[in-house]
Structure 1
Amino acid sequence: MPRPSLPFVLGGTLLFLASLPLILASSGDRNPTFQHCLKGCEITYCDPSQPPIAGYLRAFGWTCAENCAYECTHSFTDNIRPGSRYHQFYGKWAFYRFGPFQEPVSILMSLGNLWVNLVGLQDMRRRVRPENRMRPWLVAMGLVQINTWVWSSVFHARDTPTTERLDYFSATLTIAFTLLYSIVRIFGLQTPLTTSRLLIPVSASIAFLVLSHFTYLLSFPRHAFPYGYHTAFNLVLAIVHNILWITWSASFKFRLPTLTFLNTKIEFPKPYPPNDPLSTSISKPKEASTPLSLVFLTTMAMSLELLDFSPILRMVDAHSLWHAATIPITLAWWQFMTNDAIELEGSLLNGARGGGNEKFPLSGGGTGAETMEATPRTPNFAQLAAGSSGFRKSPSPSPKVTKPE
């Protein structure tokens, strides 16, 4: 029996994800017992003659009907018989809120991811030289990530159609930007020293793809978000991103095949040009296998989303564990990207001086001092006026000039 091909399996997976809204539904909110509780609560407590709900709930946008849904959700869950399965309500499990905040553990994990991105961005700005043209890309990466985790925290604090879309759109921006950065970095559209003419067209294409995706999502009513399609879209971007970095790591171990298109040979770019990644005369940087390991760990962490078990103690679910797992992984990605930007700059500068086949300079993510020492900088006006000693003096004294009499 022939084995199914990869495109067939991938296509089937995407079709399955796209049909999720049709085959999965929340059984809890359709249960007659829950509906009876909900209607009774609204009649009893939501009448204008009744006292309003607590002020701290109203301050965060809670309505009486939403508070009734929360109370009935837990009342229904409290009375589930031992051994019976738990139910979801309106697409979510029953979580204990903390004050007005709906999912406190997921909020903490989102804030943890926000913090590690701030730390990674600060470390990168400290170690990567301002002259390195990869630095603005990494700064933009940090800002996109920070925005994503801010809205993730807001969404888990208060789930509304607006905060949900802001969270999902921000997550897509992060995935799309990491893919764009991977293309730019691996194919040399932007290096620490040069910029390719293809950079703008490729960036514009990714931007157009994402904007088209957002436009399509916004065409749906507020309460009819196409979760399956959105998940499939992000999954495709993530798969391409992972394949690129896996191939990048593999280029240090295997001679990748050369493609021929219109009598033109197309080779996978060298990770640190002009050095041959398979050369035995040079030491390979320790970053060579890092992306492969990080892709594997990220994929394993993402599998937590597929478990989707009922929350432990009605607080910790698979989604919060997924956010917890990404905290150390994000730190490792920042470490790699920072080291890689320094490594790439050193390799290109060394190659420009004719020493490209000697070694990988700055290996291991140095501070860049070696490259800075070898690359003289032009003093600015203030430094010249102050007689700055930060520049090398001439090895011999200036010749004495005799003034004509």
Structure 2
Amino acid sequence: MVNSAIALLAFLPALPLPICLLLNYQGWTCRDDCKYECMWVTVGLYLREGYRVPQFHGKWPFSRFLFFQEPASAVASFLNGLANLVMLSRYRTSVPASSPMYHTCVAFAWVSLNAWFWSTVFHTRDTSLTEKMDYFCASTVILHSIYLCCVRTLGLQRPAVASAFGGLLLLLLAAHVSYLSLVHFDYGYNMVANVAMGLVNLVWWLGWCLWNRPQLPHVWKCAVVMVLLQGLAFLELLDFPPIFWVLDAHAIWHISTIPIHFLFFSFLMDDSLYLLKDTPIPLKVD
């Protein structure tokens, strides 16, 4: 069947020069467009013969829109980044820099923004580089969330412990990135590693929320965020061909995470202001 698809490519008309120039301007070469057309010829043959929609290198076929290779996921990633940017602005406006968690929370927001930027780029144009940057930056967000939890639970009383733990997390990230970049880009290992990091993040944050619920009423927001993030991650298991060749489970997952940023940053604002009020002001001695 694949041979039949390749044979049919001989009958595809050559692209006019203006279209080739437009594709190149959008980051697509004529070779890329040939692969794209071949993919749809193959999909058409599979469906005509009664087979299921095939995957190509483990990925579903998506209908390209302008220069967006996966339009729904790209737009959803952009909106996630925009939500982070809006809440970062609100956080910096509402929380004074003197709050003990201020700089750690702002750093987390920038790390998240960077991750959503690369997610947008990857879903716009899938290359080896953009794929790696998307995966690596996603791991960075999880590790920074763990570090954020460490600072909140231990670091305010023991800064040296938080610093040492942060160094350990940086070493883990460097080893993770080095293995995937220099040894073998293993999708299975990357998923297992991220699930393990996610579970550590979930258990640590939830444990702290439950322990401090009586004296910190706002921790319910953090607990809801952690549960939702883990629950929504199961959308990735609902692997189905894209609806209208645009909307798949991955895109739905990205869309569903947009409101979570508002709730989590609302928790960070409440908690940072609480810490600011709870911080004793040193008395002046004349």
Deviation at 1:40, TM superposition (A): 5.1
Q: Which runs of 5+ in 1 are unaligned?
A: 1-32, 254-276, 278-283, 354-374, 377-405
Alignment of 1:260-271 (within 5 A): none
Contact 1:287 1:336 (8 Å CA) reproduced: yes
Q: TM-score normalised to the size of structure 2?
A: 0.90
Q: Which has the higher contact order (CA 8 A, sep 6+)?
A: 2
Task: Identify the residue that residue 3 of structure 1 maps to in structure 2.
Answer: none
Shifted more, 72-81 versus 171-180: the winner is: 72-81
Select which of 112, 115, 124 maps to 1:148: 115
Contact 1:148 1:174 (8 Å CA) reproduced: yes
Task: Identify the residue that residue 38 of structure 1 maps to in structure 2.
Answer: 6
Task: Identify the residue that residue 309 of structure 1 maps to in structure 2.
Answer: 240
Amino acid at match of 1:214: V
Task: Identify the residue that residue 226 of structure 2 maps to in structure 1.
Answer: 295
Task: Identify the residue that residue 253 of structure 2 maps to in structure 1.
Answer: 322
Task: Identify the residue that residue 348 of structure 1 maps to in structure 2.
Answer: 279
Deviation at 1:84, TM superposition (A): 4.0
Say whether 1:176 aligns with 2:143.
yes
Task: Identify the residue that residue 212 of structure 1 maps to in structure 2.
Answer: 175
Task: Identify the residue that residue 162 of structure 2 maps to in structure 1.
Answer: 199
- Secondary structure, counterpart of 1:73 in structure 2: helix
Alignment of 1:60-99 (within 5 A): 60-79=26-45, 80-81=47-48, 84-99=51-66
Separation in 1, partners of 2:178, 2:144:
18
- Secondary structure, counterpart of 2:279 in structure 1: helix
Amino acid at match of 1:37: A
Percent identity at matched positions?
33
Structure richer in helix, relative to its length: 2
Separation in 1, partners of 2:273, 2:197:
27
Task: Identify the residue that residue 331 of structure 1 maps to in structure 2.
Answer: 262
Amino acid at match of 1:78: G
Cα deviation, 1:49-83, whole Å, max 9, x if unaligned, reads: x8656222112332333212211222232340496
Cα gap change, 1:42 to 1:291, in 2 (>3 Å):
farther
Amino acid at match of 1:170: C
Deviation at 1:170, TM superposition (A): 0.9
Separation in 1, partners of 2:10, 2:29:
11
Cα deviation, 1:273-313, whole Å, max 9, x if unaligned, reads: xxxx4xxxxxx443132222222211121111111111000
Cα deviation, 1:196-239, whole Å, max 9, x if unaligned, reads: 2223211111101100111111114xxx6211111111111110
Deviation at 1:180, TM superposition (A): 0.9
Separation in 1, partners of 2:75, 2:175:
32
Number of paired residues?
A: 282
Say whether 1:130 aligns with 2:97.
yes
- Secondary structure, counterpart of 1:219 in structure 2: helix
Cα gap change, 1:42 to 1:169, in 2 (>3 Å):
farther
Contact 1:182 1:245 (8 Å CA) reproduced: yes
- Secondary structure, counterpart of 2:255 in structure 1: helix
Say whether 1:244 aligns with 2:204.
yes
Separation in 2, partners of 1:126, 1:340:
15
CA RMSD of aligned residues (A): 2.4
Separation in 1, partners of 2:124, 2:204:
35
Q: TM-score normalised to the size of structure 1?
A: 0.65
Alignment of 1:7-22 (within 5 A): none
Alignment of 1:98-137 (within 5 A): 98-137=65-104
Alignment of 1:273-284 (within 5 A): 277=214, 284=215
Deviation at 1:42, TM superposition (A): 6.8
Q: Which runs of 5+ in 2 are unaligned?
A: none
Contact 1:113 1:149 (8 Å CA) reproduced: yes
Cα gap change, 1:181 to 1:237, in 2 (>3 Å):
same
Separation in 2, partners of 1:125, 1:115:
15
**Larger Rg: 1 or 2?**
1
Separation in 2, partners of 1:216, 1:43:
44
